[in-house]
Amino acid sequence: MEKLAAQLEVIVAAVGKLALADTSSVEATAQVGSLRNVTRADEVAPGLSADEALANASVQVAGFLRVPAIQ
Amino acid sequence: MTLLEEPIRELSRRLRAGEVSAVELTQEALARADQVDAALGAFLRLTPALALEAAAAADRRLRDDSGEAPILCGIPVAYKDVLCTKGVETTAGSQILRGFVPPYSATVVDRLTALGVVPLGKLNCDEFAMGSSNENSAYQVTRNPWDPERVAGGSSGGSAVAVAARLACATLGSDTGGSIRLPASFTGVVGVKPTYGRVSRYGLIAFASSLDQIGPLAKTVEDAALVLTAIAGQDPRDSTSVMAPVEGFLGELRKGVKGLRLGIPREYLEVGLDPGVRAVFERSVKTLEGTGAVIKEVSLPTTEYALSAYYVIAPAEVSSNLARMDGVRFGPGFPEAETLRDAYEHSRHDGFGAEVRRRVTLGTYALSSGYYDAYYLNAQKVRTLVAQDFDRAFAEVDAIISPTAPTAAFRLGERTADPMAMYATDILTLPANLAGISGVSVPAGFAQGLPVGLQVLGPYLGEATCLRVAQSLESEVELWNKLPPLALAAP
C-alpha cells in the first residue's frame, strides 16, 4: 500500500504537466472518428440463454446469481 | 525449416495443391509449440482438439472446393487472451478471470473461423492489456526469442512472439497505446493498429474503450494485410465500428512509394532515442527516399503532453470498465464472504495485480470531484490538440514515419520498479491511439542484435497507405525471413 501510494504520487506529479498545456481555445474530445447516433436495426434476434449467461457465476441458485447480503 | 516459415499465400498454395494438409500443418504447429514455447511462454493455453477439428474441416473444404476456399482456410492462427473464444477459457492475463469460459466469441474470431482458420490457442498478455513488457501477466512472463533475458514488449507480447518464433502464421492482438506495434518492433514482426472503428471490438475484454483497437501481427506485410482484410468492416454488434469500404489493403500494397510524401515528426526524434535505434531509422529513411518517397519534416508540437494525457484518459476508462470485475458474474469470486462488500474487496484484492490496481486507483482519482477538471477534462482537451497536430501534418504528407519505440527490447525487470519509465516506452505509439488514426510497425533493422521497427502512421482510415509504405521497406530490407535463435532450436 505504501509502495502504491509512493508510485501514485510520482505518476500524479508527472501527469500534472498537463496544466502547462495551453488548452484555452479547444474543446475536449468526446470521441474520435466520424460516427454520430449509431443505432442498429430493431429486430428480434436470439441472445444468450439464462443458463449460458449464468454459467460463469461463482454462485448461482435456481437461475439467479447469489451474493452475500448488503450490510 | 518449418512450414510455418512460409508466407500465407505460399502456404495456401501448398494446401490447395495437396502438397501438405491442414492437419499436417496443424500437427507441426502444435509440436513446435510443445518444444519451443516452454522457453518463451507465448501461449497461455493450446487448444489441440479444436485446432485439429478445424484443420480436418479445412482439409474437407480445400478438397471439395479448392477454387472457392478462402486464402486463410487451413492457416494456423492464435488469439490474444483478451479476445473471447466460445468454450475456451479467456482470462485477459488476470487472476480475476481465472476459469472464465465465454459463452460467445469475439466478432473477429467468428469472422476468421468462418474463413476456415485453425485456432491453436490463447496468447499471453499483460493483465487486461495493461503494460509494455508482458511482465504484468498474472500467469507467466513471455520472453523475447531474440534474447530470452529481454522482454517481448507488451501488451500483445504472446501474439508477437508466437509469430516471431514461427509458432503461428498470424495472430491477433489489441493496441490501446502501442500494444501491437511495440511488441512487433521488439520481436521483429509486422503489427497493425487499425483506425479506431475499423475492426469490431465485440468480444474484446475492454481496457480503455475510446482507445482500444484489435489488429493483426504477422511475418510479412502482406500476411498482415490478408488478416486485416478478413477482420475489418462494420459490425452491428459494435456501435463504434465504422461503415467504410474494406479495400486497397492488398491491391495497393505493391504500388511502391514513388512520389509519396513521408513526414518525420521533429518531436519524435527528441525523446531520447537509443543511438542504435536512431541509426536504423536513418537508414530506413534513406532506403525509402531511395525508392522515390519524398521526405519532409513535420511538427507534432503536442507530443510532450501526449503521454500525460494518455495516462489520465486510459486509467480513467480502466476504473470504469473494470468495475464489472466484481467476482459475481464471472471469475472465481469469493463465495465465503459474509457481506457483499467483503466479497467485492476480496475478489478484487486477490484478483488484480499491481499494475491494474495502480491504474484503477489513478483513474478513480482523476475522475473524482475536485480533480476532474485538472486531470480528466484537461487531458481530453490535450487529446484534441494531439488530433489537430495530426490533421495539420496529414495536410502536408501522406504518412508519418518514426521509430516504433525509443529503444529495442529492454531487459526483464529493468522497468518494473519504475512505472513512469515503463509508461514512457509508449511515447511514440500512444499519440496515434489518442487521435484514433492508423499505424503499422514493420521490421527495419537490428540494434545490437535486437530487432527495431519502423512505425508508419496514416490518417483516419489510412491503413492502405501505411501498409504500402511498410511493404516498400520490407521489400528493400528483406528481414521478414530472418529467424530468431530460439525459433531455430526445433523441428
Residue B247: what pLDDT?
84
pLDDT (mean) for B111-122:
98
Cβ atoms of B4 and B28 closer than 8 Å: yes
Residues 333-362 of B with CB under 8 A from A: 333-335, 337-343, 354, 357-358, 361-362
Cβ(B7)–Cβ(B220) under 8 Å? yes
pLDDT for residue B181: 98
Instruction: For chain A, say whether B104 makes contact (Cβ under 8 Å).
Output: yes
CB burial of residue A3 (10 Å; 0-12, 13-18, 19+): exposed
Give bridge partners of residue B458 from the DSSP assignment.
Answer: B438
Residue B65's pLDDT band, with cuts at 50, 70 and 90, is confident
pLDDT band at B142 (very low <50, low <70, confident <90, very high): very high
Q: Looking at the predicted structure, is the pLDDT value of residue B63 above 90?
A: yes
Q: What is the mean pLDDT of residues B78-96?
A: 98
Hey, what's the cell of B230? 478478413
Q: Is the pLDDT of residue B491 over 80?
A: no
Instruction: Taking residues B85-98, report their average pLDDT.
Output: 98
Q: Which of residues 7-26 of A touch B (CB under 8 A)?
A: 7-8, 10-12, 14-21, 23, 26
Examine the pLDDT at A41 and tell me if it is beyond 90.
no
C-alpha distance from A68 to closest chain B C-alpha (Å) = 5
Kind and range of the H or E run holding B340: helix B340-351
pLDDT digits over B340-370, tens only?
A: 999 999 999 999 999 999 999 999 999 999 9
Confidence at residue A37, expressed as pLDDT on a 0 to 100 scale: 81
Residue numbers of B between 276 and 305 with CB closer than 8 Å to A: 302, 304-305
pLDDT band for B248, please (50, 70, 90 cuts).
confident
Beta bridge partners of B442: B454
Torsion-angle region of A47 (φ positive above 0: left; ψ -120 to 50: alpha; else: beta): beta
Place A2 in a pLDDT band, splitting at 50, 70 and 90.
confident
Torsions phi, psi for A60 (to 5 deg): -130, 145
What is the pLDDT at residue B31?
96
**Contact: A31, B210; criterion CB under 8 Å:** yes
Read off the pLDDT band of A34 (50, 70, 90): confident
pLDDT > 90? residue A35: no
Which residues of B are known to be catalytic? 80, 155, 179
CATH number of B3-254+479-488: 3.90.1300.10
pLDDT at B489: 60
Task: Tell me the average pLDDT of chain B.
Answer: 96
DSSP B143: E
Mutation for testing the A interface, residue in B176, B201, B329, B338 having most A CBs under 10 Å: B329
Which residues in chain A touch residue B311, judged by CB atoms under 8 angstroms apart?
11, 14-15
Predicted local distance difference test score (pLDDT) of residue B168: 98
Residues 6+ apart with CB under 8 A from B373: none
Q: Which of B276, B37, B216 is nearest to B143 (CA)?
A: B37
Does residue A58 have a pLDDT over 90? no
Q: What is the mean pLDDT of residues B454-470?
A: 98
- A47, with CB counted inside 10 A (0-12, 13-18, 19+), is exposed
pLDDT band at B198 (very low <50, low <70, confident <90, very high): very high
Q: Do A28 and B380 touch (CB under 8 A)?
A: yes
CA dihedral B280, B164, B407, B387 (to 10 degrees): 90
Answer whether B382 sits within 8 Å of A18, measured CB to CB: yes
Return the ∠ at Cα B155 (arms to B359 and B237), rounded to 5°: 85
What's the mean pLDDT in A20-40?
A: 88
Nearest CB partner across the interface for B361, out of A4, A21, A55 = A4
Q: Is the dihedral of CA B385, B304, B178, B459 positive or negative?
A: positive
Q: Are B454 and B474 in contact (CB under 8 A)?
A: no
Tens-digit pLDDT profile for residues B380-399:
999 999 999 999 999 999 99
Q: Per-residue confidence at A36, pLDDT binned at 50, 70, 90?
A: confident
In this predicted model, what pLDDT tens digit does every residue of B145-182 receive, in sequence order?
999 999 999 999 999 999 999 999 999 999 999 999 99
Mean pLDDT of B115-132: 98
Interchain contact A36–B (C-beta under 8 A): no
Q: What is the mean pLDDT of residues B9-14?
A: 97
Q: Are the Cβ atoms of A56 and B354 closer than 8 angstroms?
A: no
Contact A8 B362 (CB under 8 A): yes
| Exposure letters B176-186 (e unless 16+ CB within 10 A, then b) | bbbbbbbbbbb
Q: Is A55 on the interface with B (CB under 8 A)?
A: yes
DSSP per-residue string spanning B403-466:
ESSSSSPPBTTSSTT-HHHHHGGGTTTHHHHHHT-EEEEEEEEEETTEEEEEEEEESTT-HHHH
**Is residue B490's pLDDT more than 70?**
no
Q: How far away is chain B from the Cα of A21, in angstroms, using its nearest Cα?
A: 7
The pLDDT score that the predictor gives to residue B226 is: 98
Flag if A32 and B435 touch (Cβ within 8 Å).
Answer: yes
Q: Where are the beta strands (DSSP E) in B200-314?
A: 213-218, 261-265, 294-298
What is the number of other CB atoms lying within 10 angstroms of the CB of residue B491? Answer: 9
Q: B384 CA to chain A: closest CA distance, Å?
A: 5
Instruction: Tell me the whole-structure pTM to 2 decimals.
Output: 0.97
The C-alpha atoms of residue B478 and residue A6 are separated, in whole angstroms, by: 47
Distances (CA, A) of A66 to B329, B348, B388, B460: 10, 18, 50, 46
- Mean pLDDT value of segment A32-57: 88
Distance from CA of B363 to the nearest CA of A (A): 10
- The region, left, alpha or beta by phi > 0 then psi within -120 to 50, assigned to residue B243 is beta
The whole-angstrom distance between A62's CA and the closest CA on chain B is 15
Average model confidence (pLDDT) across chain A: 90
Best of B100, B378, B390 to disrupt the A interface (most A CBs within 10 Å) is: B378
Mutate to test the interface with B, among A18, A31, A39, A65 (most CBs of B within 10 A): A18
Mean pLDDT across B477-481 = 95
